[in-house]
Amino acid sequence: MHELPQNLVNGLLLGATYGLIAVGYTIVYGIVQLINFAHGEIFMTGAFGALSVYLGLGSGTSMWITIPLMILGAIVTSTVIAVLTERLAYRPLRNAPRLAPLITAIGVSITLQQLVWGFYPSAKSPRVFPSLPGGPYHIGSILIQSSDIFVLVAAVLSTLFLAYFVRSTRTGRAMQATAQDPDTAKLMGINTDRVIVIAFALGAAFAGIAGVAWGLRYGEIKFDMGFLTGLYAFTAAVLGGIGNIYGAMLGGLVLGLVQNLTAIYIADIPGMSQFSSQSWSSVWAFVILILVLMVRPQGLLGERVADRA
C-alpha cells in the first residue's frame, strides 16, 4: 500500500514550483513567440541571488527578516538578468528569422550557467541553501515541511497577483493586446518594447521566487539546476496551453502529479517494476509531452492559435 495522500501532496508541491517557472515561458512566448531557453537559468540565478543575500546577512538575523530579503534578492537578480538579456541579446534580433533568437537563447543559457559555475564562489559543486525552521507538521497521515508551506503560499499568491495584473491593470491590457497583434497594439499607442521588457521581468520575478522555493525545499542549489527543471517547466507550459497563464499553473500541477505518481505506481503494472525509480521520472515527463503534442497540441487550456505570419 502506497501513501496516496502524501504522494498527491508532494506531486502538487513539485508541480507548483514548475508552474511558477512555466509562467515565465508562457508570458514571453505569448508576446514574442520565443522559447526563452535561458529561462531555466533565470530561475537558477534567482536561487543564487537569494543565497547571496543570506550569506551577506549573516546567521544572526531573524528569519522574518532574512526570508523576505532573500525573496527580494532572488527577484531582483532574476529580473535584472532577464531584462539585460532581453535588451542585449534578443531585442536586436526582433525581426530576424525565428532560428536566430532561438540559437541566441541557447547561447544565453550556456553563458549564464558558465558564469555562475566559473565565478560564483564554490559553485562548481552544489551549495547548501538555508532551510526554514519549524515543522514537520502532521495533517492526518500527511507530513508537511515548512518549505512546503512556503511553496504553497508563494504559488497561490503569485497566481492571484498575476491574474489581477493581467486582467485589471492598464499594463496588463497592453500585454494582452501586444500578444494578440503587436502592430495594432503599437497603433493604440502601446510601447511594445516596454511591454516585452515587462513580460520578461514578470516571468523572471516568478522564476526568482521559484528559485527560493526550490532551495528551501531541497536544501541545495547548483549551477545546472535550471536546465532539466526548465525543460519540465516548459513541458508544463505546453501541457497547459502555451500563452495561457492559468494553463501554465495547471500544467505544472498536472506534470508534478504525474511525475510523482508514475515514479511509484508504474511498478504496479506487470513487467514495469524496473521502470519506477526516480531516475526514470524524467523519461515519463517527456513521454507525456510527446503524448500531449500528439493528442492536444494546443494544450489543456489553450485555444487553437494560428501561426502568425
Partner 1 sequence: MTALLEVEDLRVAYGKIEAVKGISFSIEEGQVVTLIGTNGAGKTTTLRTLSGLLKPTSGSVTFKGERIDGKQAHEIVQMGLAHSPEGRRIFARMTIEENLLLGAFLRRDQAGIQADIRHAYDLFPILGERRKQAAGTLSGGEQQMLAMGRALMSQPKLLMLDEPSMGLSPIMMQKIMSTITELRQGGMTILLVEQNAQAALSLADQGHVMEVGRISLSGTGADLLHDESVRKAYLGED
Partner 2 sequence: MTDTLQLQSEAAARPKPAIPLPTSVARAATAAGAVITAASAFLSWTYSSQFPGDLTVSGYPGGLQWITFAGGLLTLLYTLVGYRVPVLRLLAPGGPEGTTVLLAVGSAVTTWFTLIAISVELGGLANLTGGGWVAGVGSLVAVVGALALPRDGEQTQDAKLRVLLYAGKRPELPPTQPESPWVEVPVVLVTLAVALGIFSYGIDTAYAELFGGFLILTGFTAWALNRSGDFTRLAALMQRNRTTAAVGAFVAAGLFPFTQQGGNAEANANLGVSILIFAATALGLNIVVGLAGLLDLGYVAFLGVGAYTAALVSGAAGAAFHVQFPFWAAALLGAAVSGVFGVLLGAPTLRVRGDYLAIVTLGFGEIFRIVVQNLDGTSGPNVTNGAIGISNVPDLNIFGFDFGSPHSLGWFTIGRFANYFELMLLFTAIIVLVFARSTNSRIGRAWIAIREDETAATAMGINGFRFKLLAFALGATLAGLAGTVFVHVNYSVVPDTFQFAGPTPPNSAFLLAAVVIGGMGTVTGPLVGASLFFLLQAKLSFLHDYQLLLFGLTLILFMRFRPEGIIPNRRRQLEFHEAETAEA
Quote the CA–CA distance of 266 and 7 in Å, as a whole number: 14
Residue 173 site contact among partner 2, partner 1, none (CB < 5 to 8 Å, cut-off depends on kind): partner 1
Q: Which is nearer to partner 2, 154 or 179 (CB)?
A: 179
Cell 507530513 sits on residue: 143
Yes or no: say if 253 and 235 are a contact pair by the CB < 8 Å rule.
no
Quote the CA–CA distance of 156 and 12 in Å, as a whole number: 12
Residue 169 site contact among partner 1, partner 2, none (CB < 5 to 8 Å, cut-off depends on kind): none
The three cell numbers locating residue 297 = 497540441
- What is the per-residue binding string for partner 2 in 173-212, x denoting contact by CB under 8 A? ----------------------------------------
Q: Which is nearer to partner 1, 138 or 170 (CB)?
A: 170
Quote the CA–CA distance of 135 and 113 in Å, as a whole number: 33
Quote the CA–CA distance of 21 and 15 in Å, as a whole number: 10
3-state secondary structure of 189: coil
180 binds partner 1, rule: CB under 8 A: yes
169 binds partner 1, rule: CB under 8 A: no
Of 61-69, 189-197, 233-241, 262-270, which segment contacts partner 1 by CB under 8 A?
189-197
Residues 44-103 that bind partner 2 (CB under 8 A): 89, 92-103
Quote the CA–CA distance of 120 and 127 in Å, as a whole number: 10
Of 138-146, 174-182, 217-225, 253-261, which segment contacts partner 1 by CB under 8 A?
174-182
268 binds partner 1, rule: CB under 8 A: no
Please state the φ and ψ torsions of residue 76, each to the nearest 5 degrees: -65, -45
The three cell numbers locating residue 201 = 521581468
- What is the per-residue binding string for partner 1 in 127-166, x denoting contact by CB under 8 A? ----------------------------------------
300 binds partner 2, rule: CB under 8 A: no
Please state the φ and ψ torsions of residue 127, each to the nearest 5 degrees: -105, 140
Task: Tell me the CA end-to-end span of the chain in Å, nearest whole number.
Answer: 54
What does the binding site for partner 2 look like in residue numbers (CB under 8 A)? 33, 35, 37, 89, 92-104, 106-115, 118, 227-228, 231, 234-235, 238, 274-275, 277, 279-280, 282-283, 286, 289-290, 293-294, 297, 307, 309
